[in-house]
């Protein structure tokens, strides 16, 4: 990742600013698409709030720090000496450039997978805040209201320990109404709850984004 300060000292090289421009647009669309498809009941204002909570300089800089992106930056001597590798503005710009580069190299699917792996947990946490509800909560509320009982989940797993996949089925009122898969029990339950909620509520929502990353708690379940 070539910062403009480095390019000023090494003429003939292009900075990552054009990739930042592209990555910013791709990032915004990936997050917007995921929120729109995954949370059909959230109004526009709340969707915008959740998006703003992850598509911002602070969140992107934190992700860049987590993956050690600062060490790979090409900075001018002055910028480097002044702590440029830790500056949120530089780190967030570099993160956008990486997303833009992945989009050019691998297209939408590759870029969407990267964004969700890096920011998926933050998106889910933001949507589960005030006004947000995950599908297990929705299904539980619906089941309790209509059938006066809670959903029941059953699990199976397959594959080697390092790449295990979980399958969950959920039953309501004695009938299996949802099935889902994921990289952890919790993700599989969420997918099953989504299908069950859509079936029982009459909603049908397409979803083409990748699995969100596992949280530390989910990894313990895996």
Say what the pLDDT of residue 65 is.
84
In a domain, 219, yes or no: no
DSSP secondary structure letter of residue 11: T
Confidence check: pLDDT of 104 > 50: yes
* Least confident interval from 22-36, 38-52, 69-83, 193-207: 69-83
Whether residue 35 is found in the same domain as residue 114 = yes
The residue with greater pLDDT, 77 or 155, is 155
Helix (H, G, I), strand (E, B) or coil at 28: helix
Whether residue 63 is found in the same domain as residue 155 = no
In a domain, 192, yes or no: yes
Whether residue 102 is found in the same domain as residue 148 = no
Note down the domain range covering 191: 135-202
Alpha helices in 56-172 (DSSP H): 57-66, 77-81, 88-127, 135-147
Say what the pLDDT of residue 140 is.
87
Whether residue 62 is found in the same domain as residue 165 = no
Domains: count for the chain: 2
| Domain boundary pick from 77, 101, 128 | 128
Rounded to an integer, the average pLDDT of 48-72 is 85
pLDDT digits (tens, 9 = 90+) for 123-170: 877 776 544 456 888 888 888 888 888 999 998 877 776 667 889 999
Whether residue 25 is found in the same domain as residue 117 = yes
In a domain, 179, yes or no: yes
Q: How far, in Å, CA of 186 to CA of 24, rounded?
A: 30
Whether residue 104 is found in the same domain as residue 198 = no
Confidence check: pLDDT of 76 > 70: no
Residue in 79, 96, 189, 195 annotated catalytic: 96
In a domain, 208, yes or no: no
Whether residue 76 is found in the same domain as residue 158 = no
Check if 33 is active-site: no
pLDDT digits (tens, 9 = 90+) for 84-97: 667 788 888 888 99
Rounded to an integer, the average pLDDT of 108-132 is 80
Which positions make up the binding site?
A: 20, 93, 96
In a domain, 45, yes or no: yes
Whether residue 43 is found in the same domain as residue 123 = yes
Determine contact, residues 90/3, Cβ cutoff 8 Å: yes
Categorize the per-residue pLDDT at 171 as very low, low, confident or very high, splitting at 50, 70 and 90.
very high
Whether residue 35 is found in the same domain as residue 107 = yes
In a domain, 34, yes or no: yes
Determine contact, residues 147/166, Cβ cutoff 8 Å: no
| Domain boundary pick from 128, 162, 180 | 128
Whether residue 170 is found in the same domain as residue 152 = yes
| Domain boundary pick from 128, 155, 180 | 128
Residue 172: give its domain's CATH number: 3.30.160.20
Burial string for 158-190 (b: 16+ CB within 10 Å, else e) reads eeeeeeebbbbbbbbeeeebbebebbbbbbbbb
Burial of 135 per CB tally in 10 Å (0-12, 13-18, 19+): buried
Whether residue 38 is found in the same domain as residue 66 = yes
Say what the pLDDT of residue 105 is.
94
Check if 24 is active-site: yes
The residue with greater pLDDT, 39 or 126, is 39
The residue with greater pLDDT, 86 or 100, is 100
Percent of the chain at pLDDT > 90 equals 25
The residue with greater pLDDT, 113 or 66, is 113
Residue in 24, 79, 134, 218 annotated catalytic: 24
Which positions make up the binding site for Mg(2+)?
A: 20, 93, 96
């Amino acid at each position: 990742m070539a910062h403009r300060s480095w390019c000023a000292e090494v003429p003939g090289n292009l900075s990552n600013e054009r990739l930042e421009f592209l990555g910013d647009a791709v990032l915004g669309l990936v997050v917007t698409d995921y929120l729109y498809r995954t949370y059909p009941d959230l109004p526009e204002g709340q969707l915008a709030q959740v998006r703003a909570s992850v598509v911002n300089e602070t969140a992107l800089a934190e992700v860049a720090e987590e993956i050690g992106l600062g060490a790979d930056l090409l900075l001018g001597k002055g910028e480097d000496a002044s702590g440029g590798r830790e500056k949120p503005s530089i780190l967030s710009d570099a993160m956008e450039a990486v997303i833009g580069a992945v989009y050019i190299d691998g297209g939408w699917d590759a870029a969407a997978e990267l964004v969700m792996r890096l920011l998926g947990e933050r998106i889910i946490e933001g949507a589960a805040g005030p006004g947000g509800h995950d599908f297990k909560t929705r299904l539980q509320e619906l089941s309790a209201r209509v059938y006066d009982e809670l959903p029941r989940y059953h699990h199976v797993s397959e594959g080697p320990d390092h790449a295990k996949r979980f399958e969950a089925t959920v039953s309501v009122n004695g009938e299996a109404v949802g099935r889902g898969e994921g990289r952890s029990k919790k993700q599989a339950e969420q997918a099953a709850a989504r299908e069950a909620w859509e079936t029982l509520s009459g909603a049908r929502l397409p979803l083409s984004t990748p699995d969100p990353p596992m949280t530390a708690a989910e990894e313990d379940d895996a």
